[in-house]
Amino acid sequence: QVQLVESGGGSVQAGGSLRLSCAASGHTYSRWCMGWFRQAPGKEREGVATIDSDGRTKYPDSVKGRFTISRDNAKNTLYLGMGSLNPEDTAVYSCARAIGRPPRPLERNGYISWGQGTQVTVSS
């Protein structure tokens, strides 16, 4: 059973930065497509970054240039670097493991395992 555990959330002022981590169990981690998603109160969960087993990344326009997804396969760990944060980035951020290579990697229905999430709060 895959377990995903996020850490690194917290409170930050607008313009600040945070780095999230996601520790994964499983000896085939390097083969997985992974993603970061967020859900703000009253809103749908949305994908903010994905990375496949070859290191190719994808971002929505809302975070492109501000967020960076990366992975360390030796440590079974996924990262999300977030910069130039603004209050609209406030949400619970979760990491997820995809089912194979999803055709639309930023859509949540392509993912099978989820972490519990970590809160990110950005104040103005």
Q: What are phi and psi of 12, to 5 degrees?
A: -150, 155
Residue type at position 103:
P
Q: Mean pLDDT per 10-residue run, the chain (124 residues)?
A: 94 98 90 96 96 97 98 96 98 96 94 97 97
CA distance linking residue 23 with residue 4, whole number of Å = 6
Give the per-residue pLDDT at 107.
Answer: 96
Give the per-residue pLDDT at 27.
Answer: 78
Closest CA to 72 of 60, 81, 64: 81
